[in-house]
Structure 1
Amino acid sequence: MRYAICFTPPASDPLSHVAANWLGRNVFSGELVEPSAIRGLGIHEIAFHTAVPRRYGFHGALKAPFRLASDMSEAQLLRELMRFCGTLAPFRISQLEVARTGDFYSLVPSLPCEQIHYLSSAIVQHFDHFRAPLSDADIERSDPGGLSAAQFANLHRWGCPYVMDEFRFHMPLSGPIDHKDMPRVEQALRSVFEPVLSSPIQVSNVALLMEEGNGGPFRVHSLHPIGKVSARKERVAVPA
């Protein structure tokens, strides 16, 4: 079983509903969702293109999936995540947009957001002692031969190549897409997501995701509000 520390909007957020319909699975309940018809893409095409992110559910990773160290428990992780989130301040991502990330499509900030980069770096460092060391198989799955020197160093130090200066916040929407299919997929994604991307995204919680079994789908185990209780009640937000 693995855990991941991520951001995802609350279950009631319109973006969460749209993302669940697109991916075909609700990351909160774990239930499969019947996909909606989308002009230009068949239901089977959507199911194929979303197979990879469907397993993980709609999220933006802040700390990549990890197994707990032998001397750590889920209860300890939960307590520390609750305490840690109480030391933070909520903030906003001014806007998300559909964008290509290599051969994939994701939602990414339309403008740089230092707060989300800082949050990820802080979480990676603060919770590193909860992480079990990578096995040789874990390292091989990370394709170390294809990593840069900085990414290779991150893999061995932090258990993930894409942290610190290599971190780019993104919320995956597809698996790898063949170049000939990209125009149709991108057009469909924009038609589906742009109606719910006009407003800033409030980052007011951190989600702990949990893998079901060994290699199963991930779902939200718990949401941890950011900020002190008084600040949450006042809905204080720091603009991005």
Structure 2
Amino acid sequence: MRVALYWAPRLEDPLHRLGSAWLGRDTETGATVAQPDLPGLDIAEITADARSYGLHATLKPPFRLRTSWAAMRADAMALAARTRPFALPPLKLADHHGFLALLESEKCQPLQHLCDACVTGLDSHRAPPTDAEIARRNPARMTERQRELLHQYGYHYVLDQWWFHVTLTRRLTAEEREVVWPALEAHLGDVPAQPRRVTELCLFTQAAPGAPFLLAERLPLLG
């Protein structure tokens, strides 16, 4: 089993419903959701990877447990309990390295602090990656700072190398982007830009390699 700490929209947030419909799966229940049509394209294929991970933004990347679920959950609950809820900047649809994703419209320092706390404060529960897992990351293509982070935290896009993003597609060709972007924009409407607060830390689990991630628990921010 792997565990991850994510941001995910609250159940009453319309982004939960619209994002789940776009990806074709509700990570809260595991239920399959009907997806909108894309003219001339297979939306199920375009969203396959994102659907497997679920509608989310990564705070602490997926990891295998070195300790126990109970110990990790207790520390995650304690982290959430001392974290004050905060406003999330309006989100915007963007081309993110060829993927379509929702990004922050401006940098949110409380979000960065929460992310950093998850990465560093819960790292004692992370089992180290195998040599094969490290090789798949292709360290030779990383910067020196990213290799340092990979060695220390098992992943290179953390701390100062991290950015908030909610991935909604695979990498697209220019031709695919011309079809998918307006369809996704129309599907989401003004919902990404609506005001929302971060009031929960979400624990996701993956039962086995290749299995879809599911939202296991929402831990309230109580600080």
Q: State the TM-score, normalizing by the size of structure 2.
A: 0.96
Letter in 2 for 1:36: P
Identity level (%): 32
Matches within 5 A, 1:183-194: 183-194=178-189
Give deviations 1:42-82, integer Å, cap 9, x for gaps: 4852111101100000000000000001xx11011111111
Give deviations 1:4-34, integer Å, cap 9, x for gaps: 0011012232100000000000011111111
Q: Secondary structure at the match of 1:161?
A: coil
Letter in 2 for 1:66: F
2:79 to 84, 95, 107: 84
Letter in 1 for 2:51: R
Matches within 5 A, 1:1-240: 1-37=1-37, 41-42=38-39, 45-69=42-66, 72-228=67-223
Indicate the residue corresponding to 1:234 in structure 2. none
Give deviations 1:160-207, integer Å, cap 9, x for gaps: 100111001111111111122112211111111233123222100000
Give deviations 1:118-162, integer Å, cap 9, x for gaps: 111111000010000110111012121221111111111111100
Cα distance change of structure 1 residues 181 and 36 upon mapping to structure 2, 3 Å threshold: closer
RMSD of aligned residue pairs (Cα, Å): 1.3
Contact kept? 1:50, 1:173, Cα under 8 Å = yes
Q: Where does structure 1 differ by over 3 angstroms across 4 or more consecutive aligned residues?
A: none
Count of matched residue positions in the alignment of Structure 1 and Structure 2: 223
Contact kept? 2:102, 2:192, Cα under 8 Å = no
Alpha-carbon distance in structure 1 between the residues aligned to 2:114 and 2:129: 23
Contact kept? 2:64, 2:127, Cα under 8 Å = yes
Alpha-carbon distance in structure 2 between the residues aligned to 1:58 and 1:160: 20
Q: Secondary structure at the match of 2:36?
A: coil
Q: Secondary structure at the match of 2:189?
A: helix
Cα distance change of structure 1 residues 43 and 116 upon mapping to structure 2, 3 Å threshold: farther
Letter in 1 for 2:146: Q
Letter in 1 for 2:72: L
Q: State the TM-score, normalizing by the size of structure 1.
A: 0.89
